[in-house]
Structure 1
């Protein structure tokens, strides 16, 4: 509008100047000329011939017509320009009003949708079918939870509800409406790493849906506190089952092979089915969770990256000692084979019942890979290093095959490691059909001696 007024002012000013230039020079009045009294009488002014008078009159008429014509042209041009500018201004105002209405409308819809999610119980969005959680929300969206609801559900984040402790906070057991139990991970602090992991977790798990990957049910942001709500895995983590109070007594040979198969299926989905592919980057036994039927699911995607999203050779080194592939640890080179190496370490944990890194002395540690590698390829020694809980409970051929897969996965050279798809296909025949594999168990009847 200011531009238009300025333009209008310039036109009017130009019009006035043009009009002034077109006027004839004004003659001074005769009274302004003083005539001395002593001067002689002026001679009589000769009369103007009629022809000259006619010429002068015609000239004055033409000048007047020219003045009127110029004024009319300027006025018409001014009116035309003003009309065009007015039309443009009105059009711009109309477009701006429509744009504001659309923004306001979309904002109201978004706010209404967000308000409809806030404060509602999670059971409104989740149904349970035979113990399996199914979300009712759209694929790719995550429920925004109310902080007060989660605070109350975790008994004000009481110590008695703690399920585990992570790098940026604790995981709590929460009880929501309809006796629905979930796990709530609380992230405290405003460090850039914590914020980035929270965003990565929400972004990835809102798009990823697989039976062997943990389901993110909702999240909440309350000042500096950030909460992630997951389905509750009743048997905790594989680390707790293997190295906790039970020392692996709940995990039979076939159960361990099923856990390995489920983990491989989750990784295969990340590497082969996600577009772009996803590298977990922090696969370990504590991030493999087990439900009430010991079905395994991958969790904790805060360090995961999408292949091609950035230069993987220049990203910050992250992971857990004992599971990090040597090429990533030494040179910062990260590929999907880095996840395969970590899977091999988990497979050794299942096989041997040992931690990935064990202390030999106060200043000395030994990895499970370094300790086990010389014995894994020796069939005479292999049965003796197997976890005592499952020792002599499996077919030796299956034991040798699992050991061979583990050896390939933890090779120092990434190119020597198999793809996770190849690992998956090698494990399927070792898992009973009832547990998701293709192995058909045959019950052997005890021999009965008959006396003659």
Structure 2
């Protein structure tokens, strides 16, 4: 039976060895000095610091008035203390003293993937070899969560802002506050508590509350298309048309206009490899949920060019271009998200990809 990690808060006692006293963190961050602040988000601020052994750290300081942050805090500690993989962010410790709730992570100097994608200068230096490394690393991290760890984890909020990058541009999946723990023989579940980010939530989850390990596959597909195209997964104007990234990629792929999807910084990469990644991304966001691959299949397709790829069907929430669109499923999706936002406005269960918010570490 599936249980929310927020329901196992008593397990935090099993990770007491990771507890760090508040004085140590105050010293490391110059008492949470503004000069040390990396970013500010809905659940608190993130600071950089250095421990006495000269280890660089990132400290997430949850705001005292965030009840949802309390749940996410416990989820993060309990889960990351039990998982180890080179493509998952490493939790170094936590602090619970008075009103302070602090999460201490390894410091990753290249911030998050979304901060690179929205910055024209940084994006121009993100050549294909780096983008391919990011895609492969995220795929390996997800496969570990779904099949290779001693737990079965559904992340539920995989997106470019939750992919952190180390000094060698190796990706680390972060933000496990919304994750769900499955039994190893469990494949799917239902919930009335919808959490995630608008534009990333799989359709059957956003509209019906049904989720499975393939919900993460949909998110991964969106992330792949964003990484290849350098475009965020939201509405953008292309000439006179208002486009959604997934629809824009699908139309150009169908027409054989791959060059319209690929931005100049990666045009010198392997065209076969780039096209294959786009193809795999589209397989992950198809309208037909039953045809979505597992992460094991995705990694096999990414690793071996001898594996024949199926022809994807059109993506979920497909827009034909311009304002006049086949919007029935999109309207249902938007109505569902609106209902969730109204019922969850006080607890911030839905986050909306606000590019004005700088938060390079987990919420």
TM-score of the superposed pair, with normalisation by structure 1: 0.60
Partner of 1:243: 118
Q: Which one has more relative contact order, counting CA pairs under 8 Å at least 6 apart?
A: 2
Partner of 1:265: 140
Partner SS for 1:251 = coil
Partner of 2:73: 198
Q: Distance in 2 between matches of 1:140 and 1:376?
A: 48
Aligned residue among 387, 391, 415 for 2:263: 387
Partner of 1:28: none
Aligned residue among 255, 276, 282 for 1:378: 255
Structure 1 portions without partners, runs of 5+: 1-113, 115-138, 431-452
Q: Distance in 1 between matches of 2:234 and 2:30?
A: 36
Are 2:139 and 2:298, in contact at CA under 8 Å, matched by a contact in 1? yes
Q: Distance in 2 between matches of 1:260 and 1:218?
A: 28
- 1:227-242 correspondence runs (5 A): 227-242=102-117
1:3-39 CA-to-partner distances (Å, cap 9, x unmatched) read: xxxxxxxxxxxxxxxxxxxxxxxxxxxxxxxxxxxxx
Q: Distance in 2 between matches of 1:387 and 1:164?
A: 28
Deviation at 1:315, TM superposition (A): 4.2
Aligned residue among 42, 51, 57 for 1:182: 57
- 1:19-30 correspondence runs (5 A): none
Aligned residue among 329, 339, 347 for 2:206: 329
Larger % of helix: which?
1
Are 1:377 and 1:404, in contact at CA under 8 Å, matched by a contact in 2? no
* Higher radius of gyration, 1 or 2: 1
Are 1:357 and 1:368, in contact at CA under 8 Å, matched by a contact in 2? yes
Deviation at 1:225, TM superposition (A): 2.1
Deviation at 1:356, TM superposition (A): 1.0
Q: Structure 1 stretches (4+) deviating beyond 6 angstroms?
A: none
Q: Distance in 2 between matches of 1:360 and 1:189?
A: 40
1:60-86 CA-to-partner distances (Å, cap 9, x unmatched) read: xxxxxxxxxxxxxxxxxxxxxxxxxxx
1:149-205 CA-to-partner distances (Å, cap 9, x unmatched) read: 212211221222122333301111011113221110111125432111111100100
Deviation at 1:289, TM superposition (A): 0.7
TM-score of the superposed pair, with normalisation by structure 2: 0.74
Deviation at 1:276, TM superposition (A): 3.7
Are 1:263 and 1:297, in contact at CA under 8 Å, matched by a contact in 2? yes
Q: Distance in 2 between matches of 1:141 and 1:415?
A: 42
Partner of 2:231: 354
Q: Give the number of aligned pairs.
A: 289
- 1:241-320 correspondence runs (5 A): 241-244=116-119, 246-308=121-183, 312-320=189-197
